[in-house]
Amino acid sequence: MTLKLIQDCNNAQPLLDAQNGELLKLVCHGRHVGYVRGDIAQLLSTDPVSNDFFVVDEGAGSLVMQADGMTADAITARLSAIQTILAEEKKLPKPAGELMAVKEHLPDETLFNIDRNLLFPLGVKSWGVHLVIRRQNGDFLIATRDPQKVKTFPGCYDVPVGGGLPAGTDPWTHVAVEADQEAKLPAELIRPTGEAKVLAYARDVRGPGVAKAYPFETNGGTNWDEVFYWEVTIPNDFNPFANDGEVERFQWMTPDQLLVSLRDNPEQWKTNSGVMLLQSLANDPRFAARFASQDHTDLQALTIADPRPIDQRPEWQAGQTVPFSGQNSDHIHG
């Protein structure tokens, strides 16, 4: 049986094939940039505030943004004005004040920017950046999300560094910023032990059954992500510091402890972080045999190639990558 954390991410195809107007493709300048809920599409295409900007194409199953001749800044401003008014009427989530770039593929030119709180209602593809951090002895650094201060997955285990990719930022450059802000990791220790991995998935996050993970502020919808993560090895004697208020504490887990927790207690984990860690363990020759063949297949299906051109991967400049040593790994066994 496929591990539950993998199942929770690996439902993209049924979701994206939804029929009967349940989800419509969000289209801008002919580009497919989101999967928008049917009720939100109905709202945007009929409300006087927005019905001249959003039009439903029933034949194509799309919600089309009427943006011909508009610049990226003009589209961003128009969408912001619509959200502000409809949020005051409690029809859309209130703005979070953080803009995310909207595009079909990460290297593409930005079509427009969108407030973070509209990502789920409009099902817009977004990008995130994370670090999987290990000591030289092989232990994994694990964060516990503060149960009082975070609205998504409160009290759950998480990777120690992560966040959304703001508009106009590079994944590697931004993850280094997050590492300093969230764990007080100095730049000289942020050296990946291999290429970036990219976890790609889409999930339906509507309904009360997922209220713990997706609160009212997100207004439910579609979570369509491509998440970059790198594995980083730090010295055994360095202890990161939980710095940004979202993490209650850090702890170290041996690979054995981690695998047991991910397998037996998936509800204790932030979903995408748990899958990143499962991928890390499944790719380790010492642990690969502990995963069923179907798990390997499903984990591989959630991974896509790094979409950035080779010359746009700053982590590979100036010899920043290092091999994982795995020294002093007496507790690791296969």
Question: Long-range contact list for 305-309, CB < 8 A, 24+ apart?
Answer: 305/198, 306/195, 306/196, 306/198, 306/228, 307/105, 307/106, 307/107, 307/198, 307/226, 308/106, 308/107, 308/171, 308/196, 309/107
How does pLDDT run across 108-159, given as a tens digit for each residue? 999 999 999 899 889 899 999 999 999 999 999 999 999 988 878 889 999 9
Give the bridge partners for 131, in sequence order: 161, 230
How many residues are present in the chain?
334
**Average pLDDT for residues 308-327, to the nearest whole number?**
68
**Average pLDDT for residues 61-88, to the nearest whole number?**
96
Q: Please report the pLDDT score of residue 89 as a whole number.
A: 92
| Residue 207 scores a pLDDT above 90 | no
| Residue 255 scores a pLDDT above 50 | yes
**Average pLDDT for residues 10-18, to the nearest whole number?**
55
**pLDDT winner (highest mean) among 148-157, 268-277, 314-323:** 268-277
Q: How confident is residue 15, by pLDDT bands cut at 50, 70 and 90?
A: low
Q: Is 21 exposed, middle or buried (0-12, 13-18, 19+ CB in 10 A)?
A: middle
Q: Please report the pLDDT score of residue 136 as a whole number.
A: 93
Q: Please report the pLDDT score of residue 194 as a whole number.
A: 87
Q: Please report the pLDDT score of residue 211 as a whole number.
A: 42
Are 122 and 111 in contact by the 8 Å Cβ rule? The answer is no
Task: Give the pTM.
Answer: 0.86
Q: Is 224 helix (H, G, I), strand (E, B) or coil?
A: strand
Q: Please report the pLDDT score of residue 157 as a whole number.
A: 97
**Average pLDDT for residues 57-76, to the nearest whole number?**
95
Alpha helices in the chain (DSSP H): 4-9, 12-16, 38-46, 72-88, 119-122, 171-183, 255-264, 271-282, 293-301
**Average pLDDT for residues 193-206, to the nearest whole number?**
85
Q: Which of 96-105, 145-154, 225-234, 257-266 has the lowest mean pLDDT?
A: 145-154
**Average pLDDT for residues 301-309, to the nearest whole number?**
92
Query: Alpha-carbon distance 257 to 262, whole Å?
Result: 9
Are 149 and 246 in contact by the 8 Å Cβ rule? The answer is yes
Q: Please report the pLDDT score of residue 73 as a whole number.
A: 97
| Residue 100 scores a pLDDT above 90 | yes
Q: Please report the pLDDT score of residue 334 as a whole number.
A: 30
Instruction: Tell me the pLDDT of the chain averaged across its residues.
Output: 86
| Residue 252 scores a pLDDT above 70 | yes
125 or 323, which is more confident? 125
| Residue 273 scores a pLDDT above 80 | yes
| Residue 312 scores a pLDDT above 60 | yes
| Residue 13 scores a pLDDT above 80 | no
Q: Please report the pLDDT score of residue 37 as a whole number.
A: 81
| Residue 303 scores a pLDDT above 60 | yes
| Residue 328 scores a pLDDT above 70 | no
Q: How confident is residue 191, by pLDDT bands cut at 50, 70 and 90?
A: confident
| Residue 195 scores a pLDDT above 70 | yes
Domains defined for the chain, CATH in brackets: 17-119 (3.30.750.160), 126-319 (3.90.79.10)
Q: Is 226 left (phi over 0), alpha (psi -120 to 50) or beta?
A: beta
